[in-house]
Amino acid sequence: MSKFVEKQTVISGVGQSDVGRRLFRDPLELTLDACLAAIADAGLTTKDIDGVATYPGPMSVPPGFSGAGVVDVQDALRLELGWWSGGIESPGQLGSVINACLAVAAGLANHVLCFRSVWEGSAQGSQGRSAVMPGGGGGSFRASGFMEWTLPFAAPSAAPWIALMAQRHFYEFGTTREQLGQIPLTARKNAALNPKAIYTDPMTMEDYLNVRMISTPLSLYDCDVPCDGGTAVIVSHVDSIPDLRRPPIHVEAVGTALRGRPSWDQFDDLTTMANRDAGAQLWGRTDLTPQDVDIAEMYDGFSFIALTWLEAMGFCGHGEGGAFVEGGQNIARDGGVLPLNTHGGQLSAGRLHGYGFLHEACTQLWGEGDARQVPGNPEVGVACAGGGPLAGALLLTTHR
């Protein structure tokens, strides 16, 4: 048996609630819709679920960032748990799923329900993101924690933090907006085939280059779209495969490393992120190589994060992300060497915050992508989530 225990785990089911810009629905209801769909998808019942994991756990600020915590779901479904975990300090949003893999491999649980739900669309309402910015109310609010070093400079959002890194990447490697724009363009093209996607109207390079700037070099179309929705996956032990509805997706390797400083300005190399280390770690836990990967579902909270994930996961060299996506052919859903964000990513399908990428990777590997299914029966995929100091990645296969 491999010493890399994630290989003893599988994704046995996935589920997703309705997804919308502003659904004005009870966040726990959206969460439970996703959870029950995932449990049924695996061919299990709530009696079989003996573990729960989530990111980030219950949070009231910023509004809409979390739809439910573990105990909300445990009580709502009357689950009897051998293990549970929720929290924001983890290797990105999918760190919670990786925690579940470790708990299953350790024998603390056999089927772990993992979920992430958001209602940022409804919470922000017509005011958009400025409605939920820290200190937006003014008055006597003082900045502390890591925000102490950004808020006094009117940099309260990840948009300028990521823009600073993108600008440095542009400077060092000659990356261009036309290259970066292929990530939102590709996402939009794929979203048109996804009935749950938020934005589906065609987008041209001219549209991209002319839309209003947010924080150079990032424009509106480089930023993901807040939405409401829940996503869930079930992590199960390989020994339970006979109990499942269909052959599961195997977890071949995971990456969780954070070796640089956990900071948006003190990190050692601002042209990359913690994903550099998580990606390298992942490839050290498998005999597969980047050349074996058929599909990539990579966090695009901002387009530039996906570009760094492409480099971090070894699909191109450091600094070569711009050239890799140029023209869009390499990342095209139909015919690309590495179809990227086949559901439309968070840029067009909605900011389901990390879990959407794992949901889509499994959907594609099961061949259940309907109109957006990548041709050629993809067998190996990656799901990657997080930006800046947060990075978690899973390498998934249809068989072992």
Partner 1 sequence: MPDTEVPFRILPALTDLNRDFWTAGARGELRFLRCNACGYYNHPPTAICPMCHSKDLAPHTVSGKATLHTFTVNYQPWMPGPELPYVIAIVELPEQEGLRLTTNIVNCPIEDVAIGMPMRVTFEHHTDGDDEIYIPLFEPDRSGS
Which residues of this protein are in contact with partner 1, per CB under 8 A? Answer: 129-130, 133-136, 138, 140-144, 146, 148-157, 159-160, 163-165, 167-168, 171, 212-218, 264-266, 268, 270
Residue 313, CB-side half-sphere exposure with 13 Å CA sphere: 34
What is the smallest separation between the CB atom of 308 and partner 1, expressed in angstroms? Answer: 14
Give the nearer residue to partner 1 in terms of CB position, either 99 or 346.
346
Judge whether 225 and 346 are in contact, CB under 8 Å.
yes
Q: How far is the CB of 344 from partner 1 (least distance, A)?
A: 23
> What is the closest distance, in whole angstroms, from the C-beta atom of residue 144 to partner 1 in the complex?
4
Give the nearest distance from C-beta 229 to partner 1 in angstroms. 24
| Residue from 29, 385, 369, 11 nearest 229 by CA | 29
Q: Shortest distance, CB of residue 160 to partner 1, whole angstroms?
A: 5
Q: Which two tokens stand for residue 68?
A: 């439910």
Nearer to partner 1 by C-beta: 138 or 242? 138
Residue closer to partner 1 by CB (options 55, 65) is 65
Kindly state the tokens that stand for 271. 């042209």
The smaller minimum CB distance to partner 1, of residues 81 and 158, is found at: 158
Q: What's CA 320's distance to the chain center, in Å?
A: 22
Contact in structure between 43 and 246 (CB atoms under 8 Å): yes
Q: Is 49 left (phi over 0), alpha (psi -120 to 50) or beta?
A: beta
In sequence order, what are the residues at sequence separation of 6 or more whose Cβ sits closer than 8 angstroms to the Cβ of residue 137? none
Peptide bond into 378 cis (omega under 30): no
Cβ neighbours around 15 below 10 Å, total: 23
Instruction: Report, in Å, the least distance between residue 233 CB and partner 1.
Output: 33
Q: How far is the CB of 72 from partner 1 (least distance, A)?
A: 31
Q: Which CB sits closer to partner 1, 151 or 310?
A: 151
Please say whether the dihedral angle defined by the alpha carbons of residues 371, 375, 381 and 382, taken in this order, is positive or negative. negative
Residue placing its CB nearer to partner 1 in the complex, 268 or 370? 268
Residue 195 or 262: which CB sits closer to partner 1?
A: 262
Integer Cα distance of 254 and 293 in angstroms: 14
